[in-house]
Chains A and B, each alone.
Chain A
């Protein structure tokens, strides 16, 4: 009987020891590696929308209204269309001053307006008008 008790006690002791060592092992488990420091990557700046060059619109007509305080004008086209446009300090204003010239001054390819009369099979020029192109920077 004594030996039975002794064996049981030894077995219990062994079990307690085994369990406690397991617990210790669990406790001794190497600490989890610290989460690698991930540098907060800066989000790339949102891609800039490609700048679409806005094509300038050309129009001709008579100035129907010019407001120098509110900086806008209304142009009346030949077709009767009204175009309201704002102007700024950057708006380039050019006046074309007429000056007498000679036929020899005209270059090939030069844009020109010719007024003529038809006499028989021939067209005779009464007047030739052309605009001199502004030099760069002017």
Chain B
């Protein structure tokens, strides 16, 4: 009887703990874009001010991967189809004339 109770308790514990564990695993990554309004390198946190004026306080640690994107001149022929790009153009009559085009290179694996 005692064994049955123990195993029942273990099974019950597994059922209750498992969803919590799963939830932690599934902690969904979210993205926020904005201007860095505060950066505390001692207390390891930053505040990002979104376009909408919302303040998002985020902690960082040694594991936080920081990447800077350095601009370099390129040619139109360097662009691949399907490449994500940001453009700036002016309307002249019925035509759109490109002023500038910017695209991000994907980080190579391991970088």
B-binding residues in A (CB < 8 A): 54-66, 68, 73, 75, 83-88, 91-119, 122-134, 138
User: Quick check: B74 and A95 within 8 Å, CB to CB?
Assistant: yes
User: Quick check: B35 and A91 within 8 Å, CB to CB?
Assistant: no
Tell me the dominant secondary structure on chain B's binding face. strand
Going nearest first, the 5 A-B pairs with the smallest beta carbon separation are: A96-B69, A85-B96, A95-B74, A101-B68, A125-B60
A-binding residues in B (CB < 8 A): 27-39, 41, 46, 48, 56-61, 63-92, 95-107, 111
Given contacts A56-B89, A93-B76, is CB(A62)–CB(B84) below 8 Å?
Answer: yes
Closest to A83 in B: B96
User: Quick check: A113 and B32 within 8 Å, CB to CB?
Assistant: yes
User: Quick check: A87 and B98 within 8 Å, CB to CB?
Assistant: yes
Given contacts A83-B96, A86-B97, A94-B100, is CB(A59)–CB(B89) below 8 Å?
Answer: yes
Given contacts A85-B96, A97-B70, A127-B64, 17 further A-B contacts (CB under 8 A): A58-B87, A59-B89, A62-B82, A62-B84, A85-B87, A94-B73, A95-B73, A95-B74, A95-B102, A98-B111, A99-B69, A110-B36, A113-B33, A117-B30, A122-B59, A127-B67, A131-B69
